């Protein structure tokens, strides 16, 4: 994180998101400030609160992608939730505390994966040793002079087997290994996750108190190596340390992305569904302000989590949110609608550009597809035109246009006659012009 200055963060975001420079600057500063906070004097560190961000702009312009890439850069726990899925306390729906629990679960999974990678070598060595024991059980002890000779013979055989095991020569052979029987209906019915939603919690270590049943499972040697390696990782990793580090990561670096926040904004009325919308806002408020949430791993504080909210705000305005919630999102970033030129750049420039994706997909079937630059420009123009005539869904429209354009090729592959395909402007116009012209048909296809 130290080398990720705001300029470097923006440079990394530029690899995947076209335009939206103001938004990138804001989130880059917010991310860097988290690193800066960790290095200030401890006496003032707890007083520095994250500057939460609210993103305003139409769908498909990169709001979610900016937040997701930001979390990936920081290697921080990240969860995306939709505000419209939550309901006021007392109504049927998700409890707002569940967003924090989801973040903690992701933090645990990330930290567990990181810890597993640290013991990968030791775990694999132990797993292969166990696998050799299964393939070549230890010889029974003998009390005569042949015992030493038998032990030496066993050692040489084991070394040969180990070499074959490493080379993959035994991968297809079947062995029977012991695995934990996970079919335990009692635990499934009374799961921690379900009880959490009801505000209850099983005692710590309750599941570990239940007897673990083993069962034999016949698998290939290759599959057995994976299963046994995972078992060894579980044995080598201290889960108490994993949980401790994960909770700290969730509290200090966690990012919660609240999408569709405009859907819970009230439009000046206090009747009907607007009452419930305002109730959801008031339930979310303490989470954003900073509170303690009970999870199955312990108490988690939300004071220093970064909250990024986003919404199109077509029917409402950010000022329609309750004032207290508005005040908790001091940084407002407006995303601009994408132009035809932006679409062209989106098709070509990002590292995960759609043109690159479709080229790679078709190459798997032995077909090299080449998009002429003018054809790409025409695809971008068509996508922009459809967005203008119908619902504006932003860059997502490019997926639809490209799928329609390449549909026949994708259906016919593999085909020796399609070893090379060149996409021309004329081809784009011929395939898409009639669909765009027929507005009734376009409603269903594009």
Higher pLDDT, 28 or 87: 28
Give the closest residue to 419 by CA, choosing from 372, 363, 355, 354. 363
The model's confidence at residue 213, banded by pLDDT at 50, 70 and 90, is: confident
The model's confidence at residue 182, banded by pLDDT at 50, 70 and 90, is: low
- For residue 245, with 0-12 CB atoms within 10 Å meaning exposed, 13-18 middle and 19 or more buried, which class applies? middle
Query: Over 60: is that where the pLDDT of 446 sits?
Result: no
Tell me if residue 179 falls in helix, strand or coil: strand
pLDDT tens digits, 266-309: 765 555 555 577 888 888 999 999 999 999 999 999 999 999 99
Task: Specify the DSSP element, H or E, that contains 215.
Answer: strand 214-220
Alpha-carbon distance of 307 to 321, in angstroms, equals 16
> With the CA atoms of 350, 351, 352 and 358 taken in that order, what torsion angle do they form, in degrees rounded to the nearest 10?
100
Q: Can you tell me the mean pLDDT for 231-251? A: 93
Q: Can you tell me the mean pLDDT for 325-349? A: 91
Crossing angle for the helix pair 147-167 and 120-135, to the nearest 10 degrees: 130
The model's confidence at residue 431, banded by pLDDT at 50, 70 and 90, is: confident
**What confidence score (pLDDT) does residue 204 get?**
47
**What confidence score (pLDDT) does residue 43 get?**
85
Alpha helices in 168-237 (DSSP H): 185-189, 192-197, 206-209, 221-236
Question: Which percentage of the chain shows pLDDT scores above 90?
Answer: 39
**Mean pLDDT taken over the chain:** 84
Q: State the CB neighbour count (10 A cutoff) for residue 117.
A: 10
375: left (phi over 0), alpha (psi -120 to 50) or beta: alpha
């Amino acid at each position: 994180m130290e080398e990720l200055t705001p300029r470097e963060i923006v440079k990394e975001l530029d690899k995947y998101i076209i335009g939206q420079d103001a938004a990138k600057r804001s989130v880059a500063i917010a991310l860097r400030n988290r690193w800066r906070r960790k290095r200030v004097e401890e006496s003032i560190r707890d007083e520095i609160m994250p500057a939460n961000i609210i993103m305003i702009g139409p769908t498909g312009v990169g709001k979610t992608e900016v937040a997701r890439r930001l979390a990936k850069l920081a290697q921080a726990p990240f969860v995306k939730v939709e505000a419209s899925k939550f309901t006021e306390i007392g109504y049927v729906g998700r409890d707002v505390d569940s967003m924090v629990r989801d973040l903690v679960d992701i933090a645990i999974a990330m930290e567990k994966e990181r810890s597993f990678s640290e013991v990968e070598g030791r775990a694999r060595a132990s797993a292969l040793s166990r696998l050799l024991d299964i393939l070549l059980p230890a010889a029974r002890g003998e009390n005569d002079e042949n015992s030493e000779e038998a032990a030496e013979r066993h050692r040489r055989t084991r070394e040969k087997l180990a070499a074959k095991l490493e080379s993959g020569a035994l991968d297809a052979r079947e062995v029977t290994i012991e695995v934990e029987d996970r079919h335990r209906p009692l635990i499934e019915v009374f799961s921690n996750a379900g009880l959490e939603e009801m505000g209850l919690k099983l005692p710590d270590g309750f599941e570990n108190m239940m007897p673990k049943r083993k069962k034999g499972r016949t698998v290939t040697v290759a599959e057995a190596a994976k299963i046994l390696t995972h078992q060894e990782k579980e044995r080598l990793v201290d889960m108490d340390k994993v949980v401790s580090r994960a909770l700290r990561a969730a509290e200090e670096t966690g990012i919660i992305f609240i999408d569709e926040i405009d859907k819970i904004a009230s439009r000046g009325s206090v009747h009907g569904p607007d009452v419930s919308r305002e109730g959801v806002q008031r339930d979310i408020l303490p989470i954003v302000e900073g509170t303690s949430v009970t999870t199955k791993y312990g108490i988690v504080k939300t004071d220093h989590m970064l909250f990024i909210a986003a919404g199109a705000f077509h029917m409402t305005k950010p000022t329609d949110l309750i004032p207290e919630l508005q005040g908790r999102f001091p940084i407002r970033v407006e995303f601009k609608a994408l132009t035809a030129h932006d679409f062209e750049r989106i098709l070509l420039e990002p590292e995960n550009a759609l043109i690159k994706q479709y080229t790679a997909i078709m190459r798997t079937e032995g077909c090299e597809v080449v998009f002429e630059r003018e054809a790409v420009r025409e695809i971008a123009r068509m996508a922009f035109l459809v967005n203008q005539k119908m619902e504006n869904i932003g860059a997502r429209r490019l997926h639809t246009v490209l799928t329609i354009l390449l549909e026949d090729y994708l259906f016919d592959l593999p085909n020796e006659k399609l070893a090379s395909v060149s996409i021309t402007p004329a081809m784009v116009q011929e395939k898409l012009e009639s669909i765009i012209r027929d507005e009734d048909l376009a409603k269903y296809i594009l």
